[in-house]
Amino acid sequence: MNKKIFRYSLFTVFLVLIATIVLIMGILFHFFEKQIQAELANEANFIAMAVENEGLSFFDKSGNYSNRVTLISSDGTVLFDSGVDANKLDNHAEREEIKEAMEKGKGMSIRYSTTLTEKTVNYALKLSDDSILRVSTDQYTIITILLGITQPILLIMIIALVLTLALSSRVSKAIIEPVNKLDLEFPENNDTYEELAPLLRKIAEQKQTIEEQLAAAHKKQNEFNLITENMSEGFLVIDQDASLLTYNSAALKLLDIESISRENDNNSSVLLFCRAKEFRDVISGALSGQRTESVMVRNECSYSLIANPVFEDGYDTAIGAVVVILDITEREKRETLRREFTANVSHELKTPLTSISGFAELMKEGDVPTENVIDFSRSIYDEAQRLITLVNDIIKISELDGHNISFEKEVIDLYELADEIINHLKNEAAKKNITFHLIGGSTEINCVPKILDEMLYNLCDNAIKYNKQNGTVNVIINQTENGVNVIVQDTGIGIPATHQSRVFERFYRVDKSHSKKAGGTGLGLAIVKHGAIYHNAKISLESTESKGTTITICFPLTLL
């Protein structure tokens, strides 16, 4: 702005200077021209008086004239000329000043030279005998005068230009300085030009409006961040080039991204952070204008990807997309478990039902010898009992899954409960000559007796089923600083390391033939696991093949 004011000031002063010089020259030239014309008229009148008194003899006496003097007769013949021989001059009757003098008594004309550098001013006066007296003088034109004073004019213009430069610079700085010192943070407090007062008021009003809008925008942004940062779902917003505009922390966690620099990477392509085919497909689908869903598996976790396109009003082309990432690992696992559970239950129910149906069909046809009826009936009874046990275990699992327990918690002595279960299983243990050892002392916890009974019974029952002949089972009850431990150790066949992580799954068996022979349903350890979860207890397993297995349940201090 300073330079612009400086240029305009300089240009304005320069134009004024040129216009002033031209105007002064025109006025002076006009003034001198009038002065010359007046002098010519005075001289003509003086000579006319002399000629009227003395006649042509006056010209013989006066030999020096300051201007050219010519006497012309009424018919235009030149009678006398002070500059040129009168006989050599042509008739002047048609001259402008002569004609005007003949008509009006006096006349004036100006004639320019062919080069326009000089002009001749003629003044004619009519005498009493109708002759015309003309006085003429040569005068430089304004062009000649200007050419003659070019150097002085240039010098004046140079001096004026230098002064103009200096003054324009100072003036422009003086004008701009108050403007540069304006405090736009507080526009209404500035003491400056009156002309700027309306502008400063508008700036103050606009500043207040902007501050209010920014405050509202910050509030909405904070609310948006608060909502998105507390979402368990991942949230991404991208533009039409798949550049990342915004996101939440859950998205980084779900996509297994350590961090993103909001300053440097916010405009990077979102495809750089996840190159999975499913992820790329939903991004491409959304940017093409279609709502797209897919399931992506990463690091043994399942994620549901939902991408919705964003359209500008009145246009069909997507200008971006919103991507939501849901962790559906647990849901997928539950669905897998449900399918496996359904398949296993169907299989487990089908086997005894097939046996019962087969034995019953034979007995219905009457083809069974009398001595075999008792054996068939015993087989039907055993299979029915197996079905009842399986159904009961399934009901227990379902109750634990939904926490649909109808019993209230009670204070139970773990040592006494373990002793009762051991006494109940003595006959089963005696069949394999297995010895039980109950170690510890009286320890009470607040629990659901039915669940705890099922847990300890299944652990001890498994310790017998999968133990060796003449084996040992130790049941240890002890209290530590972390809670109460129930430990069941056996000297049985053990569990291979590859199977240890899955033995608590429903219907999972390490050796199906051995399990079937032992009479298990495959739900015992699953009931133990869900019972531990119900009581917020932790369960751990240590096992070595051919040496035995140790299962530990640690009940929290909150149950004491």
To 10 degrees, the CA torsion angle through 23, 26, 31, 35? 170
Long-range own/partner contacts, residues 530-536 (CB < 8 A, 24 or more apart) = 530/397, 530/400, 530/401, 531/400, 531/451, 531/452, 531/454, 531/455, 532/455, 533/400, 534/400, 534/403, 534/405, 534/448, 534/451, 535/447, 535/448, 535/451, 535/452, 535/559
The H or E element spanning position 294 is strand 292-298
Contact 366, 497 (CB under 8 A): no
At residue 393, the pLDDT reads 67
Residue where the block lists tokens 């939903």: 282
Q: What is the mean pLDDT of each run of 10 residues along the chain (560 residues)?
A: 67 77 75 78 83 76 74 85 81 86 87 71 86 82 64 78 77 72 71 72 83 89 78 85 85 73 60 84 89 86 89 84 87 72 67 77 74 77 75 69 66 93 91 93 89 90 92 93 92 90 78 52 80 89 93 88
Distance CA 440, CA 475 (A): 8
Cβ count within 10 A of residue 266: 13
Pure H helices in 466-498: none
At residue 434, the pLDDT reads 94
How far, in Å, are 71, 78, 269, 306, 413 from residue 295 at the CA level? 124, 124, 21, 9, 49
What tokens does 505 get? 């799954």
How far, in Å, are 59, 182, 400 from residue 448 at the CA level? 160, 79, 11
Q: How many angstroms separate the first and last alpha carbons of the chain?
A: 83
